Structure formats: structure tokens, C-alpha cells
Chain A
Amino acid sequence: MTSERARIWLWRVVILIVLVGAWEWLTGIKAISRTPGLYWIDPFFVSRPSLIVKRFAYLASDQVRLSIWQMALSTVQSTLWGFVVGVSTGFAAGLTLGRNARLASVFEPYIIAFNSLPRIALVPLITMIFGFGLLAKIVLAWTIVFFIVFFNTFQGARSVDADLIHSARFLGGSDRQIMRTVIVPSALAWTFASLTPSISFALIGVVVGEFLGGESGGGLGYLIIQSLGTLNAGDMMVALISLGVIGIVMALGIKQLETRLLRWRPEYRRGA
């Protein structure tokens, strides 16, 4: 690691320590929360790092019916399912419509109409149809991811260089072969650009689903809503921090995959 990178990491750690330290220290001073306008600097509202650690240990133990691990697993599982289903259907639809101008113009108004609908408005309907379980959360994540991936792949499939297709045709490629060796790889570069936002939006979809889903749906979203009900800021912070960690880990995983699969692009080559 170069000294520049080391310095950057040092600053990151320093900032973390300062923020967490300030949080712990300020929420310990009663006088601040009695100052008008600063009432919220109080463990009741924003909890305290030491308290959060304690709540985390409790939620991770087997003293609770539904442990933080089970809830995190449920959230991750639904997110990944929503992501996988959304990406594959969005990719297939984008590719099909991207290569078929007539089909694309037939479907255009429907796609625009559905995409401009706020997805949150669909939550009650999806809950009515799919109940409170895992499936409803996956469907919700899917409705968001599908369109992100669809629009990107659609653009990608439409903007495939015509001369690449011609040259493949002269080399003897059939329509199927050209689809596989030219159009798909060319469109994939666009699709990949949509994966990082997709995983984040899948997580949003799932958490929103969990807000409404109740205990049978489980998940960290459920923990947040439950904490609101019991005015338990500590548990809420545990859920939020867990979501943050999950979000970062998943985004990094996608980035890794992207770098591997797009290693032919100059901007993804390391070193050099």
C-alpha cells in the first residue's frame, strides 16, 4: 500500500473515531438536551454508541425470538432474490425490445407509465396479492430493479455498433451467433453500469416491504418499525447500521464482479 493510500485510510479512521466519540460524549451531557432546539441530542432519540453495542449484543444473543442475524439474513436474501430476478428479466426485456424497434414503440407508453408510478404506492397492492412474506418483498424489489436494468440494457442493445454486426455477418455469423457474440457482450457493458444502483434500490424496495410486512416477513425493516413502536432508538440504530454495512458489502461485491467481467475495457484495467 502506498503512503498516499495509508494517509487516506488514517483520515477515514480518525473521522470515525471523532464522530463516534462526539456522539458518545455529547449524549452523556444532560444540559445539552435541555437547550431549546437541541432536545434530540439525547440517548432517547439518537441512542449512544455504547448503548447500541449493548443492544446489538442482546439482539445477537439467543435471548430474543428473532435474532438480528435472522433478520439480516431475511433482508439480504430478499434483496439478492429481487436483484437476481430483476436483473435477469430486465436484461432479457431490454435486449428483446432494444433489437426490435416495432415492439419497442408498441410497449413504450406502457413502460413509461409504469415506471413513472412511485413504487411505494404499490406496496399495499403487492401486500394484498402476495401477503406479508418473503415473496412480497422480492416482488417489490423486482419492480424497481427491473426498470433500472431494462432501460440501461435497452440503450445498450440499441447502440450496438452497426459495423460490428456487419463484420460479424461477413465472417459467417448467423443471427443467433451475432446475438451471442456481438449484441449481448456489447449491451452487457451498459447493463453492468446499472448493477450498483440496482442492488441499492433492491435493498430500498425490500426495507419498504418490511415496514409493512410485520413479523412474518421479518427483516431489518421490521426491526426499524418495531423500534418505532416501542420508541427504542438503540434497536433502530442497530438496524440502520446493519443496513449500512449490508449495503456497502453488496455494492463492493458487485463492483468486484463488474471489474472481472469488464476487464476488456481500458477503464477497468488496473495498474498500467
Chain B
Amino acid sequence: MPRSRIVVRDLTKTFRDDGREVAAVDDVAFEVRDQEFIALVGPSGCGKSTILNMIGGLVTPSAGAVEIDGVRVTGAAPRQVGYVFQKDTVFPWRTVARNIAVGLEYRGVPAPEQARRVRDAIGLAGLAGFEDAFPATLSGGMRQRVALMRTLVVEPEILLMDEPFGALDTHTKITLHAELLALWEARHQTVVFVTHDLSEAITLADRIVVMTRRPGRVKEIHEVKLRRPRDVIKLRESEAYAREYGAVWHVLGAEFADRA
């Protein structure tokens, strides 16, 4: 049994809204094993991004705690954690190459090694020829590739991803799934991936944490029994995929059904 890298312990978050305390996340607990790819799925507003923000130390829990490698997260982001936002967070004033280099720059990596690693990353992401382009001239998919490579180039062991492909069209999204899986197969980072897209979760994850509607609780933790490495296109046509989809949809569907 591999050790747990992330322990989410009885996490609760309440927000003040108009003087009233509103619970966004209610008593959520799960563990993420080393090198595991976990997806957090639930209806919008169920607090899944809030949970990710608490794991990353961006939001302070109202109760409960997050531990990463046995150390309680309090505020500042732990060194071994990388974070990819849903929103476009590439620096618009830096070129593609200089965006990807920024984390290496922060960590004082010597210039020649920076150049080498940036070149490798650009090759991996299929961004060759766009090194000196400013983000404003790129498509949304390319900008998100830059954001992803910028995070991966500093080699985080733990990767937190907040609907990173949420704003992209289906085609670009599937292409990026394939790229992300290829990159993940090479390094096996521990990943927590937030999404409301069930097929995305099944394609990528080892286990899916299914959340209830607000206030978010863990409804079920579903194991995705699909062999790796996965081919994102063939996968969708397979019977096993359909079975997984049906199983999770059944659990998740109930959350939408009893809304009325």
C-alpha cells in the first residue's frame, strides 16, 4: 500500500454571506496516495475548487486540516506543490519561453539549464516556433499549455489542477488530455484534478471523489478500473469506459435529480 501524500481531514469551510454563515464544504475527508491521479467531481457550486484551494493553502479551512507529506498546510504554498488555475494565469508581458522559465528563474536555476529545460518543455508541449510570441497572440489552448508547462518545468511532485481545461472546446480539451496523460506517465506526479466534466475525470483519474451539491460532502469515492497507459480516443469507444461512465453518472445523477 503506497503512503498517503495528501490527507484531507474533516475539512469544513463556511463563508459569511449577508451576515449568514453559509457552508460551502462540509466535513470532507479523503486521502491521496503517492503518484495517484485523483479527480474531484461534483455539480457546480459544490465547493470542489474551495477544497483544492484549501489543499494549496490559498483558503484557510473553518475546521479540519490538510496535511501534505505529514506537514499541516498553513498559508504559504508548500515547495513540492504545483498549481494550474482554470483562469488564464500566464504573464501577458512575457513571451512563451520567458513564461515557462519564470519558475526556474524564481528558484535560481542557472541560465544555461533554464534554457535547456525550457526548450525541452516547449518541444513536449508542441509550442516550437512560438517561443518569442506574447500570450495575447495565442489561442486559449496554447495559453493553457504554456501554463501547464510553466508549472511542470519546476518538477513539482504534487500537482493541483483547478478545471484547467474548463474554458476550452472539446477537441482541444481531448488533445490536452492526451498530452497531460503522456506527461504524467513520464513522471507520475500526485495529482488532484478538479472538474465538473465526468468524461474528463474518467479519462484521467485513478479514483474519482464524487461530491454532493452544496454544502459539498463526499458522496462516494469511485475507483476507475481502466488500464494504463490510456488512449484517450480509443478509451471513449470501449465498453469498460461506458461501464465506468454509467456507474459514476448514476451516483452523480442523483445529485442533480433531487434538486427539484
Chain A contacts to B: CB under 8 angstroms: 161, 163-164, 166-174, 177, 181-182, 185-186, 189, 263-266, 269
Contact = CB atoms under 8 A, between A and B. Distances in A.
5 contacts: A161-B89, A167-B89, A182-B91, A264-B92, A264-B135
Contacts of B106: 168, 171-174, 177, 181
B134 A166 contact: no
Interface string B108-134: 000000000000000000000000001
Contact of A171 (B92, B135, B154): B154
B56 interface: yes
Interface residues of B, number: 28
B151 interface: yes
Given A163-B85, A173-B106, A264 B93 contact: yes
A172 B89 contact: no
Contacts of A182: 91
Contacts of A169: 76-77
Interface in B78-101: 79, 81-83, 85, 87, 89, 91-94
Interface of B: 56, 58, 76-77, 79, 81-83, 85, 87, 89, 91-94, 102-103, 105-107, 134-137, 147, 150-151, 154
A166 B150 contact: no
A160 B103 CA distance: 19
A216 to B, nearest CB: 45
A167 B83 contact: yes
A164 B83 CA distance: 11
A261 to B, nearest CB: 9
Contacts of B93: 185-186, 189, 264
A114 to B, nearest CB: 32
Given A172-B103, A182-B91, A185-B91, A166 B58 contact: yes
